[in-house]
Amino acid sequence: MATDFNLLGQKPSQDLICRGLFAISVFWGAYLLFQIEPLIGKFILPWFGGSPAVWTTCMLFFQILLLGGYAYAHLSLNKLKPKQQSWLHIGLLLLALSALPITPSADWKPVDGAQPTWAILVLLLRSVGLPFFVLAATSPLLQAWFARACPTRSPYPLYALSNLGSLLALLSYPFVFEPYFKLGQQTLGWSLGFGLFVLLCGSLGLYFKHLAQNHAISETPISLDNEVRLVENLSPMTRWLFWLGLPAITSTLLLAVTNQLCQDVASVPFLWILPLAFYLISFVLCFAEFKWYRRSIFIPAALLGGLGLVIALYQGSRIGLEWQISIYSLGLFFCCMICHGELFRLRPQPSQLTAYYLAISVGGAMGGLFVALLSPLIFPLYFEFHIGLFVCFALVFAVLVVEKPKPLIVSLGSVILLLLGGHLMAHAHEASAAQSMVSRNFYGVLRLVDRDIEQPDQARRVLRHGAIDHGFQFLAADKQHKPTAYYRPETGVGLALQHFPKPQRRIGIVGLGVGTLLSYGKADDYFRIYDINPTVVELAENQFSFIKNTPAQHDIVIADARLALDREPSQQFDILVLDAFSGDAIPMHLLTVEAMQQYFRHLQPDGVLVIHIANRHLDLRPLLHGLAQRENYQFKVVHTPSREDDFGLYKTDWAYLTRNQAFLQHPVISQALDNTELPNKTVIWTDDFSNLFSLLKTKNKI
């Protein structure tokens, strides 16, 4: 009789309760799942140097645990009876409460700049692993319960609803939570929200158990005969190839696009969240009950998006921030739409629901592993983007081919793939050939470029990080001692190192670069240099001669400067130079109140903090003005324009924070100071609170 009852459907009141409880629980679980990602990423970002790879590693962790949650749901549904499933999941929900609050322990802060990938993964597992695992298992588990409790309704709209919850969580973080709440408040609020989720999901588990006891559920989901299943015409191997490959390639593109954006601006939640938001929007649209995906619309749009991405690759940093964000985000969105749209077209009947979702999560984890772990080992540059873009169109073309389209479609698709592959290979070859040496690690891609070799008086070796020059040295023996680029004698840092009136100076430098500043060293000077990237140190020592030729005494500390300075007694620096850059941006954790207090602790009372503030997208003056006022320091800027007749001088801005009036009134220094009126607004960042939007230059406002 129970079977007949379920096939006939449930009472209207029971059906309404089912739909409401399931919808609320799935939505709220997905919201919490994706809000914890930027929250915990921002929390640990300062501990590991502010590199974009911190977020890539976090994403790898989230994808692996998402896979674990989906595998748990699949095994639970296939091995346990409904009542056992309910009790097991309620037990896990209660156990996850023991992990609250989710604030990571400061004991996990690294002691050096060694490869931190595994340390980040273990840290995340210990701090948020269990709550994230439970949340990850919720969506597939509840959708499978829904298919049994409401057997005449499709569970796939719940998947779209879960992605909508994830999307709202991501969008609310940079615009609602990050600007107005401190990190401690955010973690507390999230923990309270998780408690509410445990109450909701636990109640639903008890309700499902009650239905099972009263034989008011289907033992297995029934097929929905009114839905056509294209996947049933495919062999099991082909089916699994698409179920794994389509989500794997969108995951690869998601992380590759994030790397592309973050390397030239800053690794901040907004630039993590934006690509992920477009990725989730594609899931929402493709899996919604109203079928948004249309091949006739989105395949041509994806081709235009792919063309834009190829153009952006060739243009590099020459295009503005607005264009970079627009092209990469829309290109990613259209690629995800065609992949996820075809993935939805290949969906199975609800009886295979958890296997299908498990395959999607395995594919996502494969993409994360490829970008975060495998690519840095096998590719010198970010070639995973090239591979992801090509395979995206190749897979969609393969889906079309198995449906036996007209020969014209096959021919046209083949030509498009050949053109795309040719341009991507040409760009990869051009990027590789332009470098004399390439080194890639957790902190990014470092490249050595020898320029103007045919002109001995201009020949120089340049160190590039991402798309930014981080210093150079002339190759001619009689010019190797000359400071260049951002460090010329007429720049702010050059003036400070030449005219600070004190013998036997102690000078600290955060960010080694090629070691140019050591060219200002004298025999009685002592330089203490901090750099988190061991490869930078290796290149500066072996490929440039500033370090080996300086008469000054010096030590190099390979560690994050904030963490190293925190552990050391006061160094009593006369000058402390902050020149740490990731791509084109100073890592945000080096410009907070707590960071400034650490710098001032290591300065002499009459010392000078010199900060490199040149940036194409951010105006750091309001921030440093606010920090200087808070600590009762003078804030001055030296602006040095570039000159057409002098390629060795780069346009740059250096800021001074000091209480040393004699230094500021030195004739050469005072004449060089920028007398432009300081910005009226001031900004304060702390380790617990920072917001990038307030510093975007007017032309780059988003």
The number of distinct structural domains making up the chain is 3
What value, to the nearest 5°, has the Cα angle with vertex 458 and ends 452 and 460?
Answer: 70
Residue 112 located in a structural domain: yes
Q: List, for residues 302-337, the tens digit of each pLDDT value.
A: 999 999 999 888 876 667 667 888 899 899 999 999
DSSP 573-593: EEEEEE---BTTB--GGGGSH
User: Domain boundary residue among 371, 403, 429?
Assistant: 429
User: Domain boundary residue among 195, 222, 249?
Assistant: 222
pLDDT(654) > 80: yes
pLDDT at 9: 47
- Same domain? 230 vs 166: no
With a CB cutoff of 8 Å and minimum separation 6, the contacts of 297 are none
Task: Report d(CA 463, CA 517) in Å as an integer.
Answer: 15
- Same domain? 172 vs 233: no
pLDDT bucket at 6, cuts 50 / 70 / 90: very low
In the block, residue with structure tokens 């070799």: 453
Residue 387 located in a structural domain: yes
What stretches of 42-128 adopt beta strand conformation (E)? none
Q: Which residue range(s) make up the domain with 93?
A: 1-222
Mean pLDDT of 426-435: 74
Neighbouring-strand partners of residue 413: none
- Between 13-17, 252-256, 521-525, the lowest mean confidence (pLDDT) is in 13-17
Q: List, for residues 85-144, the tens digit of each pLDDT value.
A: 889 999 999 999 988 888 887 777 776 656 688 888 888 998 888 999 999 888 888 888
- Same domain? 182 vs 234: no
- Same domain? 214 vs 259: no
Residue 613 located in a structural domain: yes
pLDDT at 435: 62
Cα 116 off chain centre by = 15
- Run of H or E residues at 624: helix 621-631
- Same domain? 604 vs 563: yes
Torsions phi, psi of 611, nearest 5?
A: -125, 130
pLDDT at 290: 61
- Between 157-166, 262-271, 469-478, 528-537, the lowest mean confidence (pLDDT) is in 262-271
pLDDT bucket at 605, cuts 50 / 70 / 90: very high
Task: Report d(CA 405, CA 251) in Å as an integer.
Answer: 28
- Same domain? 190 vs 257: no
pLDDT at 403: 79
Torsions phi, psi of 206, nearest 5?
A: -65, -40
- Same domain? 407 vs 504: no
Mean pLDDT of 496-500: 92
Residue 442 located in a structural domain: no
pLDDT at 4: 38
Task: Report d(CA 204, CA 539) in Å as an integer.
Answer: 59
Residue 80 located in a structural domain: yes
CATH no. for residue 510?
3.40.50.150
User: Domain boundary residue among 222, 247, 282?
Assistant: 222
- Same domain? 183 vs 260: no
CATH no. for residue 287?
1.20.1250
Task: Report d(CA 182, CA 62) in Å as an integer.
Answer: 23
Strands 460-465 vs 468-474: parallel, antiparallel or unpaired? antiparallel
- Same domain? 423 vs 483: no
pLDDT at 610: 96
Residue 462 located in a structural domain: no
pLDDT bucket at 8, cuts 50 / 70 / 90: very low
Task: Report d(CA 260, CA 316) in Å as an integer.
Answer: 9
- Same domain? 194 vs 242: no
Task: Report d(CA 655, CA 625) in Å as an integer.
Answer: 10
Residue 443 located in a structural domain: no
Residue 464 located in a structural domain: no
Task: Report d(CA 308, CA 383) in Å as an integer.
Answer: 17
What's the chain's average pLDDT? 83
pLDDT bucket at 49, cuts 50 / 70 / 90: low
- Same domain? 278 vs 418: yes
> Between these two residues, 5 and 282, which has the higher pLDDT value?
282
Token code pair at residue 596: 């400034």
Given its phi and psi angles, is residue 274 left (phi above 0), alpha (psi -120 to 50 degrees) or beta?
alpha
- Same domain? 378 vs 262: yes
Task: Report d(CA 688, CA 624) in Å as an integer.
Answer: 17
